[in-house]
Amino acid sequence: MNSNPPIQPPPRDGACFEGIPAVAGRASGPAWVVHARLDEIPDRTIPPEEIDAEIARFHLAIAVTRQQILDLVTEVSQRIGPSEAGVFDAHLMVVDDGFLKSCVEKLIRERTACAEVAVHRVTEDFSAKFAAMHDAYLRERSSDILDIGRRILRNLMGVSETIPSAFDQPHIIISDDLTPSQTVGLPRDGVLGLVIDRGSATSHTAIIARALGIPAVVGLKHVSSEVRTGDEVLLDGYKGTVIVRPTPDELAEFKQVCAAHRKASVDWQRSRNMRAETPDGHGVTILANADHTSDLAQLAIRGSEGIGLYRTESLWMQLGREPDEDEQVEAYGAMVCAMTGRPVVIRVLDLGGDKVCGAMPVQTEANPFLGLRSIRYLLKTPEVFRRQLRAILRVSSCGDVQIMYPMICDVEELRAANVILEQCKEELRAEGVAFTESIPVGAMIEIPSAALTAHILARQADFLCLGTNDLVQYTLAVDRVNENVASLYQPTHPSVLTLIRHTVKAGVRYKRPVSVCGEMAADPALAVLLMGMGVNTLSMTPTAIPEVKHAIRKTPYADAIKLARGIAAHASTAEDARRMCRALLQRTAPELLA
């Protein structure tokens, strides 16, 4: 397989980049660079003695580009037809154009420009001239020239346009950005880790990577323009660091750290299938976040007591369309059967924001995170909602199935959703289809308005689930996929903790279970705090379960309550609260902080 090797000299050995730790874990291996931003072309001059070598590098990139186009011609001819493959004839004409090549060579010789700069300037100039021509055919060649110029640049810079469906060896994916749908479609066995210029630890891309157990560092800003496909990379998802082309000493130290961590994790890996019970006898239910791609065997091995958040939207994102009712029944039913009587909380479609697919109408929104997403989208498209609710009801008789509505703003949305649910029940009764009549229905608390009116929602819902990722985002007005404000995203901010306390009190008052399914639940120090605040059910990515269980099993419930009360009384900042959480864990389970 063509791994698109770099045709540009690599960056210096041991270059270290610091970003945001998004998914805990470490990985080492060759890089596969995807979607590097071509507006960040290396602007460098070359010494006179290297001019011939630079021109040779340009000709090698031309040869690689030509072969890629020929490969495309073959593929399109076989899959679609020879006539359709003819669209690439114009591309071959551009690649073979002698005048274009001579202009690039001239720029390299006379201006000592690097090949990237020369190709970019010449192709942009050629494209602009063709775009200004009167002849329609010649004007159309403008885009062909730009396309070929970008392809040559990618080959010079050693980056790829796509992620292969399979690798001949595992790689660390390096990209300026990855969408959630791209992340869902990653070849599981071929990806060692993710390194991304943009995003934050709670972006949906990071959440999906966490669910897949892929170590990740995000918010690196420009690493994708510095790394070349094939470079050896060391990724530390605990510290948020990435080392490119490590020195022998750096590689040896990295291996030592990995070995030490494996040794330290033996204790909590042993107890992963034990109940999460504190030394003084308080139990916490530990559930897993999952979707249709989850490894069902791994869910049991990790120690999950059920599924606290089943993300249905991943099926839409993977298919790129709305699955029909039977396809949904098959996906949901597989999870319900695998859980053998354990609870499965199915969240209805949560598309919008940074999670989009072909099933949604294409429309531009100034702020999609405040726009038509989640329950708002479903209430606007009731037929989509009905098909999903019918599918969930059809599998409800096979196990302990619960329905959860995301992004509920107020009780009116909850009532409107339940009206459609009742209509679906009537349809299935008329069709003679079995389902659980009293299926539990819950509301996600992700918006401050929902948290502040939790006492009203609790009268209508069977349970409440705190989605802390969005709750933090909307409370603090921090875009959680924007690396520029990632430092302001603080789950322990006093306002956020106040909303959590208010929600828990509402649950206690109306005897409604309250769970947490956001990333706070997966942080051992914060899981202990949530326990002390009265949350008795935590749902998290399966890879986090062993460490969270270990923290709970080592921390007395009385100490957790004291922590929660101390933070409520004395923590005036997010850092104060986090420091107090870590201080408790330092006393009870210091090995988790190492």
Tokens of 148: 């070929």
Contact of 237 with 245, CB cutoff 8 Å: no
Q: Which residues, in sequence order, are CB contacts of 14 under 8 Å at separation 6+?
A: 243, 244, 245, 246, 247, 250
Contact of 452 with 413, CB cutoff 8 Å: no
Q: Which residues, in sequence order, are CB contacts of 308 under 8 Å at separation 6+?
A: 287, 288, 289, 343, 345, 465, 515, 517, 537, 538, 539, 540
Contact of 309 with 369, CB cutoff 8 Å: no
Could you give the CA distance from residue 220 to residue 200 in angstroms, rounded to a whole number? 10
**C-alpha 365 chain-centroid distance:** 21
The strand pair at 463-466 and 441-445 is best described as: parallel
Contact of 238 with 58, CB cutoff 8 Å: no
Active site residue 357: no
Could you give the CA distance from residue 272 to residue 257 in angstroms, rounded to a whole number? 23
Task: List helix spans (H) across 340-410.
Answer: 375-380, 382-396
The strand pair at 26-34 and 232-236 is best described as: antiparallel
Q: What are phi and psi of 166, to 5 degrees?
A: -155, 150
- DSSP codes of every residue in 523-574: SHHHHHHHHHTT--EEEE-GGGHHHHHHHHHHS-HHHHHHHHHHHHHH--SH
Catalytic residue chosen out of the listed positions 357, 398, 424, 517: 517
Active site residue 493: no
Return the closest-CA partner of residue 540 out of 518, 515, 513, 514. 518
Return the closest-CA partner of residue 172 out of 200, 201, 154, 195. 195
Task: Report CA dihedral (201, 205, 208, 214) to the nearest 10 degrees.
Answer: -70
Catalytic residue chosen out of the listed positions 204, 282, 493, 550: 204
Task: List helix spans (H) across 343-487.
Answer: 375-380, 382-396, 411-431, 448-452, 454-460, 468-476
| Burial status of residue 466 (CB atoms within 10 A of its CB: 0-12, 13-18, 19 or more) | buried
How many Cα atoms are found within 13 Å in the side-chain-facing hemisphere of 217? 28
Tokens of 340: 């053998």
Number of residues assigned to the chain:
594
Could you give the CA distance from residue 42 to residue 36 in angstroms, rounded to a whole number? 12
Q: Which residues, in sequence order, are CB contacts of 148 under 8 Å at separation 6+?
A: 65, 91, 94, 95, 123
Helix (H) / strand (E) containing 23? strand 20-23
Contact of 293 with 314, CB cutoff 8 Å: yes
DSSP state of 352: B
Catalytic residues: 204, 517
